[in-house]
Structures are given as structure tokens and as C-alpha cells.
Structure 1
């Protein structure tokens, strides 16, 4: 059956002038086009969720793909940004996550304070800012509390181009041939034009034509490939006159087979499933996919397959896209403004606290991440600016920093002014309302919580702060160096103040008085190098505040460790040249007041989806009712296209839906479904 596509070829009211002489060399245009996209390959993101509806306060698990237009995964380590926004554009979740070789998985912790409704999950990478904003991934999810949610009839806004439509093109796809028929109503019939069809960074067809002699084209579908093909019309001066697109279905299909060990299972019984991937000819192909097993009764809305989701996204993007021929054919092609991002970069400015003037040029600032125990070194510009590039920092951390001039003088009383984050408006979800109908998922989870409360297991909390402080000390020594001196306070008769303890117990230290201020020095350090006071690390938190160190109560201290080996300390740069004093207190939480401006948010660590196992034969009386029975974000087949998984059913009976979404090794997306039954009693 022929597939009809109606295309509007848009005639520009104002032309984008291209520098250089008039040129009709189609091969040269093709080379420039491919060179341009070799440097600026558009990327896409696709997220697959364990569910498409969630409860307020729930956790939404998802898998992320990061790939190029031809579905080739982006190699190496990359970062992508995830946002959860409501109908007003307010952000309820905002974080960065790791992607490795085009694949990653993570989760969104839905706040308990959100209101029920439609929410929009969006995802992008810094590299994608070089292209149209429509390349940003967007997906709506429902968040329910009690009643069902219905969204407004509004459809996503498509960018409206300010062009007339003087040329209409009808395309027919039949018998492996694409036919294009032009109907020119207001174009110059004697004008020589260039027809260019582009796809996935390649010019797949090009030819010169004149409307007076040719208004129809017959093209071999195989020569054009599959997917979105952009159609551009240029004049002989390489000015863009119009554009459109056609969508050619892929002839390559992935046949995914889901084979449970049987059709019906008991509650809490082990389910084993085999998967098999083949191509059109029945040949085994390799692939990678996610697996989710859902309680089918809780999710009535059917979701599009992964191939359909990708096609819909590509079509929406194509509606608002036109090839940037002005940039492609420019004689001085500029490098992309944004790079593929695999680090967290913070831009700041170091200024004196009182005058707000920049600290001296080429000053060295050393940053220390308190929780991660990692040092970073940067140099400042004449205006005090610097870039801090953070690698593999997860969760929230606190920055400690100190600086010295290029002449080696410690800089006192300065602060860091961080550049404002990106304030680009986030996309909004569609408006929605709650009906009076009870939502099946919300009702199920409400009853589940009532049952779980009846069987709640209460355990006493253990204060682990002291252990955490000791662990921080041990971790630092493993990462950098062992302490040269260890003073265990329980072995000594303690004095009431730290100053007295230094004099009588902590022999490697000494105190001196300069004016009204006390200073602490480490003995045995080269005085020409060690010109200042040591770095203190108290219960894992670094500080240069000697007054705070001296204010500690000896009766609350477990141990003090001294690091004074100059060769070992040299590894830490100038921050270690005065030595290090490490303190562990009994409570394990001694610290100065927290400065919120020194907090940074790193990458979000993925959390493994937990499901009960009943394989050990022991009886677990706790009720087991779940909406998602099983979620595995990444399953890979062997060379024969085979893979296996196993999981346990819950206490609920009914139909379970097994769904897989993934890509073959050749980049073809696929989805497959299978259902099994869960019953009470013997099969």
C-alpha cells in the first residue's frame, strides 16, 4: 500500500546571504555539508521508564540512550541533564547523570510535596545546545495521589515559520520509489534551482533543475536510506529558498522473542525468561535492552513502542527544522560553541572580601572536596576568573579552598563568587485536572501501605557518626599518606584546653602568640617552606581556622594525627606545605558553621531497583505487593542473540506484562511484549 506524504516547501521572504562566488558544483556542496556534520553531529536522547505513571513520593527508574542521528551510540563518558517540570515550568528535580558509551540509568525521586498532575521529563547534553531546541528529549508522565488525571487537549507547540508556501510537493512512496511532484503557484518558472536531500550527516541525493522543464522526480528509496530525509531547495547562489522533509520507513526489523519457562506461575514463584533477537532473515543479531515487568491491571493506557517514540520525536523535530546552509557553506566555519560534556564545570571569580577586587593574576587556588577527599588546583586570570572542572563527584559535597600568589604568599580574607547557572526556561507540561474517578495505581499503593504498616519491622537506629569520622581519617591516609604521629587521647591524663594539650601531649605541635592571636606550627618542617599554619581536618572537614581548632575540648577528642613529612606533603601542593593536623572527636560531627555558598551538587548516583528474592527457602511474612515486579535497565545478548533473566512474582495475582525496549547492534530500535499469569495454588 502506497504511503502518501504531503510536504510544504517553504519559500523564504528574506534570503540568508552566503559569501563567496556563485557556485553550482553539487559535489563541492556535498563535501562541505559532510565536513560540517563531521564536526557537528546532532545527538539525541531517549529515556525508557519502568512505569509511565507514578505515585506522589515515588521513585521513577529510567534508562537513558545517548546517540547520533544514525542511532550510533555516543562513545566514551558523557553527562546529561535531567529535569522534571510541572505545567508552570517549575523544576521539581534537576540533576546530572553519567552516560557510558551511550547508555546510562538513574532515577527521579518524586517529592512528596508535588501536586498530582501531568509532569514533563526533559533531558539534554551541553552539545545539544549547538542545535535546535527541539532536539531536547521530552516525555510526559503522570503523578497521581488518589484520583485519575486527565490532560488538556493542547498539543505540543510546533515552531511556526514566517514563510509563504508557494510550492507544494506531494510525495508517493511505492515499489521502492519515492516520487516528488512540484506544483509551483508563485515561483519563477525559469529559475535554476538545486535539489538537495540530506540524512544523518550525508547528502543522499542532489541535482540541478529548472521549474520550466522539471517539476517531478523519481528517486530510488534504497539510495535515500531510512528515517527522516531533509529536503532543501537552493538557488545557484546557494541561497536557501525552501525546505521540508520525508520519512522513509526502515526495511530492517528486529524480531524479539520473549519466552517464559511456562505461562502460569504461583505467587512468590521464580520466573525464568529467555530472549532471542533475529533479523528479517531469521539470523541471530546482538542487542541491548531494558526489561520491565508490570502489574498489568494498574496501567490501562497503552504506551508507544520504542521505534514509534523515536519516530514521533524525529518527526516533531523535523517539522521545525531547516538545514543551516548559511553556516554549512560559509567560508570560515566556526567550531561548535558547546562541547560534549563529561565533567562538571563551575566558573568562578576570586575577590578580596572587603574591596571586592580580584586577587592577583596567576594566583593558585586549591579546592578540597570535603566528602570526596579530592584536591583540585586552578590558576586565576587578571580579573580573578577561573574554571573548576570536577570529575566523578556524586551527590552533595562541600568545598574548602585556600590560595597563594605566584610568589608563594598566602592570600587571606578572600571569597569566591560563582557564576550564575543557566537560566534558560525549562519546557512546561500540559495542563491537567483530577477527575472523580479513583486511579487504580493510587488505590493499589494506598492499600499496600496500609498492609505494610501492619507488618512493619522496627529497628533501633545506630549512631554511626563516630565511625564515619574514623572512616574519613582512614580513607584520607589510604588516598594520600600515613600519619607521622598518632596521639590517642585516652592514653593520657587530659588537660582542660587544647593549648595545654599541645604543650604537654601533642609534642609535634607548638603554639606561638603574635599580638592577640595564637598560631599553631608543626615542628620539624623546613621554616623556609612552612611559612604558615597547618591545614586542619576535623572529623573529615578541612579548615584553616586555628581558633576553632584550639576551641575544641580535649575530653571530647579520640585522636590527633600529624602529617609532617615534607616529601609526602609535596603531593598536595602549597596546601600541604605547612603540614596537616587531623582530629577525630567522639561525636564525629564537630565542625564550623556550614557556609551554604560552598556547597556543590555533583552527579546523581544510580540506585539499583530492589526486588525480593525467595530462593533461600526461608519464610518471609512481610506482604509483597508491587506495581513494578521487575526492572533491569540493561540486558545484553550474547553473539547468538540470546539472553536470560529471572525474578520472583509477588503476592498479587493476575496478569503480568513483560516488555523489552532496546537497540540492535546495528542501531535498530525494537520493542516486544509478553504476558504471564500469576495464580494462587498449584499450577
Structure 2
């Protein structure tokens, strides 16, 4: 039997919710949540000393192996959303070399892709592109059998929206594939870290908190700035090739007429009763002619990607601030499969046109961070030190927390 406890010289200053994550040679399928007196994960049983904890009370965990286990056995306790209104200075101490612990924790997820019309698996070796839209991270995988695939999603703060694209081995993009993504089935390698409270203030953390307060006080709080969700897409590829601000034009009532009359480089027509949109791609060299793809482009509407042409054509031109078209192969090549048929970026006046898009899957980051000032310090420490994981927060004295809080208040007077 192994008994693990928070180090005697440290106390939890405010416990809102605890999560216990274990790692050993024994397979662990899911994290063990400490919302009861005991939780069982695989061949490991974790018991807590109490059901609820008071501030500054010591937390004791009792861990039992049902079978003999060799190797390293690590425990970490996550005090989620603790101290949202307080902050203090600390440093991480560990005997693990910095190169042994990454700054982010990848989580493996299993998924499957099916045809939307027949609910049959896609062909083997189909390329699956998963794109985290807020963090601008593309993840590519391949189906190996019955439409099944596996992807590694890195740790990221807050939530995000996953956009999927699927291409068959013969180069055909699947229209509206059905993607099923399961929860985490493998835990990353973890190391138990110890923290020590320091009396010296962190100069860079103070600067970062000031900068965060200034940024949150101005542009992110303005209604106009909330409308800039589509801008990172253009910055990611080096700017759009064609961009129109619609307030300078006498607008037609429909998007189809807008494409015919105003928007250059984009074609619209009907085929077999369906409306199709094509981006005329620039030639890769001057001695070749422009090309027209066989599939619809990717539409980025208020920062959310989709391939739903009906949704794009149903938009009202009077609600749109600007439309940008990317058609140069050099820029589209940076997006990989997403840029194969061109890109159309739509930015609305109110930033609410993406609310009806159903082709994205919302995911929650495995390391949620709040926007409060105290968590700004945690974010800075996370970026500055690759071995620190700011999900573990502890302090010895409540008076020291109050002292740090008073220092923070002085920064913004």
C-alpha cells in the first residue's frame, strides 16, 4: 500500500474541486475525480481522508494497488479554479530535468468517420484534418480501418471548436462527413511537482498582470473589437488576395447576386438543382491558366470554418462588413487540405453570423485557465518555465495571500 499526501509544510488555502490523476504501469482509462470518499480507476483505488475540506486543511490520499506494479507511480492533485480572487508568488521545484517535461500535455482521442448519406465508414487511408480554430492548430490523421482514426490534441486553455475535413485516397473531398470523436482514452505522462511560496515578488508577473489589465480594459471590451474574429485567419496566411468592404457598395439582396455583380475571383452557378460556389485559383506560374476546383471552398464566417455552401448563400449582404478571398497557391498551401479549393473569409458587422454553423465540434481545453488577474500570473509562469504546471496551487499562510492581494490592488490604483 502506498500513502501519498500533500507535503506537510503546505496547506490548501481554498478547495473548490479536486481531481486526482494517477499514472503507473497499470493502464488508467480515465482520471479519478475526488468527488467522493473513494474512486477506483483500473487496478488502483484512491481514498481521501474526508469528503469535504476546509480552507488550510491538509489533504491525505491513500492509494492501493490490487496487483504488483513495477516502475514509477505518480500522483497529482488538481485544485481547479482555486483562488480566483487572490494571487501569490511561488516557484516550482522538481528533480526532473527540464527537457523531460513538455510545456503542454497531449491527449490521445479516438474517432470514426462515416458517410453522411449511407452511414457507412469512409474508405481506408482517408486523410482526416482536425483544425482547432481559436488556437490555429491543424492536426492530420489517417483512417486505418472501418473509418477509425486517432489524433493527438495538445493542451490548450479555455474551449475551442474543431473543424473537420476528410479527403479520400483518390483526392476527393467528402461533403459533410459524420465525425464521431470519443473522450480521452490515454493519459499523458505526468510528474508530481512540489511548490514553494516565495517572499520576493516576480517582476515579470507584475508586468504581465498590468498588461493583461490594460488589454482587458480597452479593445477586448469594445463591441467593434469583438468583431475581429476573422482577422487571425488572414494574418495566418499573409493577407487576403481580394478584400471588399461592403459599406462602399449598393448591395443586392442575396449572396448569389453579390458574387455575380461585385465579388471577383468567385463563381456561382446551379448544378443538378444544387447551388455551387467556386474560387478561381491563380496559376502556380505565369505560363499556366487559372484553375477552378471541383469542390466548394472553405468559408470562415466570423472566425468559424465550414464547407456548408447553403449556409454561406443564405447570409444577407446587409449584415456583412467585409468579404475576403484567398486564391494564391502560395498562401493556400500553408493551410494544407483546408486551402485546396480556396478560402472565403466573411466578417459580419455584429459578429454573430456563425451561431448557426453545425459543422464544428466544441471541445474543452484540458487545462482551463480563467481571465482573472491571479490566473494571469499562472499563465506567465506556464509560458516561462517548461516544467511548471500551474494546475497545482498551494500556500502555507492565509495572511500571505492577503498580503499578495493588497500588492495586486496597489498595481491598479
Find the aligned partners of 1:61 and 1:495 in 2 and give their Cα distance: 56
1:489 aligns with 246
Q: CA RMSD in A?
A: 5.0
1:279-678 equivalences under 5 Å are 342-419=105-182, 464=222, 466-470=224-228, 472-525=229-282, 530-591=293-354, 593=356, 595=358, 598-607=361-370, 610=374, 628-631=398-401, 648=406
Could you report, residue by residue, the CA deviation over 1:431-469 in whole angstroms, capped at 9, with x for unpaired residues? xxxxxxxxxxxxxxxxxxxxxxxxxxxx9xx97455233
SS in 2 for 1:600: strand
Preserved CA contact (<8 Å) 1:548 1:592: no
Give how far 1:415 is off. Answer: 0.8
Preserved CA contact (<8 Å) 1:466 1:585: no
| TM-score when normalising by structure 1 | 0.39
Higher strand share goes to which structure?
1
SS in 1 for 2:110: strand
1:30-109 equivalences under 5 Å are 51=12, 54=15, 59=16, 83-86=33-36
Could you report, residue by residue, the CA deviation over 1:542-569 in whole angstroms, capped at 9, with x for unpaired residues? 0111111111111111111111111221
1:149-298 equivalences under 5 Å are none
SS in 1 for 2:226: helix
SS in 2 for 1:567: helix
Find the aligned partners of 1:343 and 1:133 in 2 and give their Cα distance: 23
Find the aligned partners of 2:156 and 2:239 in 1 and give their Cα distance: 24
Find the aligned partners of 2:136 and 2:156 in 1 and give their Cα distance: 10
1:319 aligns with none
Preserved CA contact (<8 Å) 1:348 1:386: yes
Give how far 1:84 is off. Answer: 3.8
1:666 aligns with none
Runs of at least 5 residues in structure 2 that lack an aligned partner in the other structure: 25-29, 73-88, 95-103, 187-216, 284-289, 376-396, 409-413
Find the aligned partners of 1:66 and 1:289 in 2 and give their Cα distance: 20
Pair 477,595 (structure 1): closer, same or farther in 2 beyond 3 Å: closer
Pair 466,365 (structure 1): closer, same or farther in 2 beyond 3 Å: farther
Runs of at least 5 residues in structure 1 that lack an aligned partner in the other structure: 1-41, 69-79, 90-121, 150-154, 162-198, 202-272, 276-286, 291-340, 424-458, 612-626, 633-644, 651-683
SS in 2 for 1:378: strand
Find the aligned partners of 2:166 and 2:71 in 1 and give their Cα distance: 49
Pair 357,65 (structure 1): closer, same or farther in 2 beyond 3 Å: closer
Pair 515,474 (structure 1): closer, same or farther in 2 beyond 3 Å: same
Higher helix share goes to which structure?
2
Count the aligned residue pairs: 316
Preserved CA contact (<8 Å) 2:47 2:62: no
Could you report, residue by residue, the CA deviation over 1:186-215 in whole angstroms, capped at 9, with x for unpaired residues? xxxxxxxxxxxxx988xxxxxxxxxxxxxx
Give how far 1:479 is off. Answer: 2.5
Q: Which has the larger radius of gyration?
A: 1
**1:142 aligns to 2:142 (yes or no):** no
Pair 81,516 (structure 1): closer, same or farther in 2 beyond 3 Å: same
Pair 160,606 (structure 1): closer, same or farther in 2 beyond 3 Å: closer
Pair 546,609 (structure 1): closer, same or farther in 2 beyond 3 Å: closer
Give how far 1:45 is off. Answer: 9.0
Preserved CA contact (<8 Å) 2:124 2:147: yes
Give how far 1:630 is off. Answer: 3.9
Preserved CA contact (<8 Å) 1:569 1:579: yes
